[in-house]
Amino acid sequence: MKGLLIKDWYLLKNQKQIMIIPLMGVLFVLTGMESSFIVTFFSLLAAMLPLNTMNYDMIDNGFTYLFTLPVSKKTYLREKYLLVFFALLFGICLGFALAMLSCAVSGKKPDYFALYATGLGGLVGVSLMILITIPAQLKFGAEKARIILLIIVGAITAVVVCGYKITERIFGAKIQEGIAKFLSKLPTDNLTAGLLATGVTILLLLLIFGISYFCSSKIMEHKEF
């Protein structure tokens, strides 16, 4: 795995596009961009980096070359998921730091709880996007993976919206009352709510990572080069 991590480090280092990260950071701080947007944006940007390395691995029969080296399919996948995890962590931390800086520059008082909640929501959303893309990219390549991601995100949105509309039609106002009742039962103090949200986020992330890794393993198991 050490070789793969070093390879990906040099691969990222040699990409000129990576310079966009500090440039965007400076731009967002100077323009006093919305804190929650900064956090989500940098999480997404950082999480895209492992996908980018995977893309380069696949160009020019790179996979064929890579798997002639002392690398197993299992090690390759572990390295990529590890990279996604650390990239997400890096993106979130960078996002938070820049959001704080942006608030300081623009003189706004940061709403820590809202920022934290946005961070968690963004983390789940970005993870979902990235972790759908990895198995899709392994199976169909980068181009088709983007289309598949759009279809899946579209399908999830459609299911949620349609599901809500249908439930609303069947149960009428009861559904809104039910949701309000459920929300009223949730803790209102910031600490308990924050801990609860963190717990739910961790569970969701574990579930998303698990499903994505399982699908990728099955795809890699049957992949030939």
Partner 1 sequence: MKGCEHMLLTLNHVTKKYPQFKLDCSLELQPGRITGLIGSNGAGKSTTFKSILGLITPDSGELRIFDKEWKNFTEQDKALLGSVLPDADPCRLLTPADCIPVMKGFYPDFEEERYLTLCGQYGLPMKKAFSDFSTGMKVKLKVILALTHHARLLILDEPTSGLDVVMRREVLDMLRDFMENEENGILISSHISSDLENLCDDIYLMQNGQIILHEDTDILLSGYGILKLSEKQFREIDRSHILAMQKESYGYLCLTKQKDFYMDNYPDHVIEKCSIDEIMMILAKGEPVK
- Ramachandran sector of residue 172 (left: φ over 0; alpha: ψ -120 to 50; beta: rest): left
Residue span binding partner 1 (CB under 8 A) among the ranges 66-74, 105-113, 198-206, 209-217? 66-74
Contact 136, 148 (CB under 8 A): yes
Which of 51, 65, 41 has the alpha carbon at shortest distance from 143? 51
# chain residues binding partner 1, by CB under 8 A: 27
- What distance in Å separates the CA atoms of residue 141 and residue 67, rounded to the nearest whole number? 17
Restricted to residues 39-58, the positions that interact with partner 1 (CB under 8 A) are 56-57
Asked if 190 touches partner 1 (CB under 8 A), the answer is: no
Binding mask 129-158 for partner 1 (x = CB under 8 A): ------------------------------
Q: Can you tell me the distance from the alpha carbon of 172 to that of 159, in angstroms, rounded to the nearest whole number?
A: 18
When binding is defined by CB under 8 A, the residue of 23, 107, 184, 224 that contacts partner 1 is: 224
Nearest by Cα to 79 from 94, 57, 100, 101: 57
Out of 20, 26, 65, 155, the residue judged to bind partner 1 by CB under 8 A: 65
Q: Nearer to partner 1 by C-beta: 15 or 201?
A: 15
3-state secondary structure of 189: coil
For 194, list phi and psi in degrees, rounded to 5: -65, -45
d(C-alpha 205, C-alpha 208), whole Å: 5
CB of 15 to partner 1, least distance (A): 7
Q: Which of 21, 48, 67, 93 contacts partner 1 by CB under 8 A? A: 67
- Considering the rule CB under 8 A, would residue 225 count as an interface residue with partner 1? yes
Asked if 2 interacts with partner 1 (CB under 8 A), we say yes
Structure tokens, 138: 């392994």
Does residue 10 belong to the site contacting partner 1 (CB under 8 A)? yes
Among 20, 30, 31, 75, binds partner 1 (CB under 8 A): 75
Nearer to partner 1, 17 or 184 (CB): 17
- Within 10 angstroms of residue 47's Cβ, the number of other Cβ atoms is 26
- 28 touches 20 (CB < 8 A): no
Question: If binding is defined by CB under 8 A, does position 191 make contact with partner 1?
Answer: no
- The answer to whether 102 and 28 are in contact (CB under 8 A) is yes
Q: Which residues bind partner 1 (CB under 8 A)?
A: 2-7, 10-11, 14-15, 56-57, 59-62, 64-65, 67-72, 75, 224-225
